[in-house]
Structure 1
Amino acid sequence: MTTQPDVITESREPGPDEGRPLATLGGDSKRSIEQVALGLFIGVPFVALLAAIPFAWGWGMSWLDLGLMVGMYFLGCHGITVGFHRYFTHGSFKANRPLRIALAIAGSLAVEGPVVRWVADHRRHHKFSDAEGDPHSPWRYGESVPALLKGLWWAHMGWMFDEEQTPQHKFAPDLIKDPVIRAISRQFVWWTTVSLLFPPLVGGLVTMSWWGAFTAFFWGSLVRVALLHHVTWSINSICHAVGKRPFRSRDRSGNVWWLAVLSCGESWHNLHHADPTCARHGVLRGQVDSSARIIRWFELLGWVSDVRWPSSERIAARRKDEVAKAA
């Protein structure tokens, strides 16, 4: 079983011969064609999202379309939150080999980038959170209103167009050494194709019509991807600008309750930055965290072990003094 490091580890840069066989999709810089492709993947689904309301008002939306959109949304969302984030990035639990592979594939279906690049970016974010070196801090340009507005745009999606990328051999050496995970990362375009074509394939076969395939593609592919993208990016932007901060952290991460369900528990962001390896982010009463629930189910099935669940002592140790005294 392959495990992840508890902390980010430094490693030497590989030589030319070493890097070639361990290459992953999306290296340390973006080419012009990749910039254009990234713009299309962001822009087209977002236009579809803006068109969703008038489209639904004029032609309606079938239960099949709704089911495909919701099902694919939460499959990809939990692939990111349970897989890419809590497992691959932070090692909040250990998974058996089949589940490890399944989580890498499920996260890839969210169309948020190759698994190795995603993990490298997020480990770098935690190392420099809201400080120089953080790839997507909303405080990048300062604290004035104009600077913060510019920073929110950067944190939400602008940072992804930066040509300078996180060195994957430095921040994700453990994943690069795993041949299966490295292959899944290199096959990101193929998994994206599967993610986008599965809904229209099902819609067309069930309704036996091109219209059924089209509406399934609109709702289950375009709108679903756009919504998931912007919810995920909101964790980078909104949750580092506003929200309650009951726990001590060295950055400005906050809890944003109204994003909790759609983000699968990721918007309880303050505790996460106070205790990054914790398997549960929503640790206080009433904080819904579906990702933690799924990890618990995996544990009961015997698919995961060594889960880093929060204890009352662990939570109390990270609460701010004034909060702890009031409790």
Structure 2
Amino acid sequence: MAYVTVGLPALGFVAALAFSLRYGFTLRDLALLAGMYLVTALGVEGGLHRFFSHRSFTAGPAVTAFLGVTGSMAAQGPILFWVAVHRQHHACTDRDGDPHSPRPLGPGLRGRLRGLWHGHAGWLFTIRRAGWTRHVSDLVRDRLVMKVNQYYFGWVLLGLAIPAAIGGLLGGAEGAAGGFLWGGLARIFLLDQVTWSVNSIGHTLGNRPYRTRDNSRNVAPLAPLSVGGSWHNNHHSQPALATNRHSFWQIDVTGMFIRTLDLVGLASDVRYRRAKK
């Protein structure tokens, strides 16, 4: 599965570039890429991360299912697996037991690069596949979450079919191909790189306004693409919060999305930033 997770979207991204060299990169392709990217990025950061992993707010069945489905369409793993890995990361951040710490794996530059690759995507090839369900006992008891988790591969295929279908309606066969490649496979590849960069770069380079026990860092340039997830030191300082924005200038699209859900009554018990003492 690691080879499929890493390799297939990469091949799809190359195919999308080749397709655009032949047929051009249209506004339709851009819209499908951007639209599907935003929906699935919010599914990952707002759903898999802040909602399912940290329980930073509560929601009814419709929002729970929506966040589970859109997060699954990112093809980064089923809900239970994604959450278990992330909770283990927080329990052992940058220490033994952290699934994807980018700590150097050997001396010198080579060891640092090996560690960076491990923290980025290499961990997918080495992670232990047994015993992780103990980290998600609360989710295992939730019938709706288990149902969404059960159909993970169907949601991944849906995430490929939606942009292909929209592209086909707007542009025929060429539009369907562009939607499948750009709104589907290339979108998965690009979001993967951003999400994994929070794990690798976000524990290697960046600002540390909070002296946490780990090496988490804020990576400002990634904030728009990660929909607020790259304020990683902010998050590790107060991981249960629904918002990562600790300064007025920090972009946190996911935090705004959760606030909107709260305002319209679709989210409750939202954990906002604690007041300074």
**TM-score normalized by the length of structure 1:** 0.81
| Residue aligning to 2:228 | 265
Out of 291, 310, 313, the position equivalent to 2:273 is 310
Unpaired runs of 5+ in structure 1?
1-33, 318-327
Find out whether 1:214 has 2:182 as its counterpart: no
Q: What amino acid does structure 1 have at the position aligned with 2:156?
A: T
Q: What amino acid does structure 2 have at the position aligned with 1:177?
A: R
SS at match of 1:222: helix
After the TM superposition, which residues 242-321 of structure 1 pair with which residues of structure 2 at under 5 Å, given as runs?
242-313=205-276
**Structure 1 residues 51 and 189, CA, compared in 2 at 3 Å: closer, same or farther?**
closer
> Post-superposition shift, 1:142?
5.2
**TM-score normalized by the length of structure 2:** 0.94
Find out whether 1:156 has 2:100 as its counterpart: no
**Structure 1 residues 194 and 243, CA, compared in 2 at 3 Å: closer, same or farther?**
same
> What do residues 118-142 of structure 1 show as CA deviations (whole Å, max 9, x unaligned)?
0000000000000000000000525
Find out whether 1:73 has 2:37 as its counterpart: yes
> Post-superposition shift, 1:214?
1.0
| Residue aligning to 1:240 | 203
Find out whether 1:127 has 2:83 as its counterpart: no
Q: Are the equivalent residues in 2 in contact too, given 1:137–1:240 (CA < 8 A)?
A: yes
Q: What amino acid does structure 1 have at the position aligned with 2:144?
A: V
SS at match of 1:284: coil
Q: Are the equivalent residues in 2 in contact too, given 1:84–1:118 (CA < 8 A)?
A: yes
SS at match of 2:25: coil
CA RMSD of aligned residues (A): 1.7
| Residue aligning to 2:133 | 169
Q: Are the equivalent residues in 1 in contact too, given 2:223–2:230 (CA < 8 A)?
A: yes
SS at match of 2:212: coil
| Residue aligning to 1:87 | 51
> Post-superposition shift, 1:293?
0.1
Unpaired runs of 5+ in structure 2?
none
| Residue aligning to 2:23 | 59
Query: After the TM superposition, which parts of structure 1 deviate over 3 Å for at least 4 consecutive aligned residues?
Result: 50-58
SS at match of 1:172: helix
> Comparing 291-300 with 274-283, which one deviates more in the overlay?
274-283
Could you tell me the percent identity over the aligned residues?
Answer: 39
> What do residues 237-259 of structure 1 show as CA deviations (whole Å, max 9, x unaligned)?
01011100001211000011110
| Residue aligning to 2:165 | 201
| Residue aligning to 2:63 | 99
**Structure 1 residues 84 and 98, CA, compared in 2 at 3 Å: closer, same or farther?**
same
Q: Are the equivalent residues in 2 in contact too, given 1:243–1:255 (CA < 8 A)?
A: yes
| Structure of higher CA gyration radius | 1
> Post-superposition shift, 1:143?
6.8
> Comparing 293-302 with 274-283, which one deviates more in the overlay?
274-283
Query: Quick one: distance in 1 between partners of 2:65 and 2:132?
Result: 19
The total of aligned residue pairs comes to 277
| Residue aligning to 1:13 | none
Query: Quick one: distance in 2 between partners of 1:202 and 1:196?
Result: 11
> Post-superposition shift, 1:51?
5.5
> Post-superposition shift, 1:56?
3.3
**Structure 1 residues 296 and 46, CA, compared in 2 at 3 Å: closer, same or farther?**
same
Q: Are the equivalent residues in 1 in contact too, given 2:15–2:181 (CA < 8 A)?
A: no
> What do residues 159-206 of structure 1 show as CA deviations (whole Å, max 9, x unaligned)?
111251363331000101111211211211111111112211221122
Query: Quick one: distance in 1 between partners of 2:241 and 2:108?
Result: 33
Q: Are the equivalent residues in 2 in contact too, given 1:175–1:182 (CA < 8 A)?
A: yes
